[in-house]
Amino acid sequence: MTTGQCLCAAVRFSLTVEPRFFYRCHCSLCRKQTGVGHNLATLVNARDFRWEAGQDSISSWRKPSGYRSDFCAHCGSTVPNPLRESPYVWIPLGLLDDDLSMECVGDFCVDDAMSWDAHRSANSHHCAVESLEFLLKELRVNAD
C-alpha cells in the first residue's frame, strides 16, 4: 500500500496501487500552485484511492475554466483532488511517503516555462494536456 499526507499530517490518504509514471506541467497556474517551476503529478483510478483522514480540512480553489487547487486549510499543502466528472484522482507526487521508482512520461506547457526551469523529460509538449484520455494512456492508468 502507498500512503501520503500533507505537511501537517491532517490530510492523509492511501493508494492500493504504486504509481509508476508521472508528468510535469510548466504552465503559469501550476507554477503559482506549487511555488516552483512546475508541478509533478500522476493520476490513479478512484477505486485505488482512499482518504484516511482530514477530508474536512481540505479547502478548494477553482477557476471558472476548471483549474482546481485543493489544499490543506491548516498547512497549505496541495492535496489530491478528484477529477471533474471522471473516476480518477489527481495526486501531487510530493505528498507520497515512500520513495517509489517512477518515470516521467512527459513535460507539458514547456513554452510557458521560465528560463530557470530547464529540466525536461525526453517527451516535451508545447501545449497543455490535450485530453484526459491522452494523459491516462501516457500514465498507463487503466480505464474501466
Choose which of 2, 10, 15, 42 interacts with Zn ion (CB under 5 A). 10
Looking at the Cβ atoms of 17 and 57, the one nearer to Zn ion is 57
**Closest separation between CB of residue 47 and Zn ion, Å?**
25
| Cβ atoms within 10 Å of 28's Cβ, excluding its own | 11
Contacts of 68 (CB under 8 A, 6+ apart): 60, 61, 62, 81, 84
Site for Zn ion in 68-107 (CB under 5 A): 72, 74-75
The number of CA neighbours under 13 Å toward the Cβ of 51 is: 13
Nearest one of 98, 99, 55 to 79, comparing CA atoms: 55
Looking at the Cβ atoms of 30 and 89, the one nearer to Zn ion is 30
Q: Does 8 bind Zn ion (CB under 5 A)?
A: yes
Residues that bind Zn ion (CB under 5 A): 6, 8, 10, 25, 27, 30, 72, 74-75
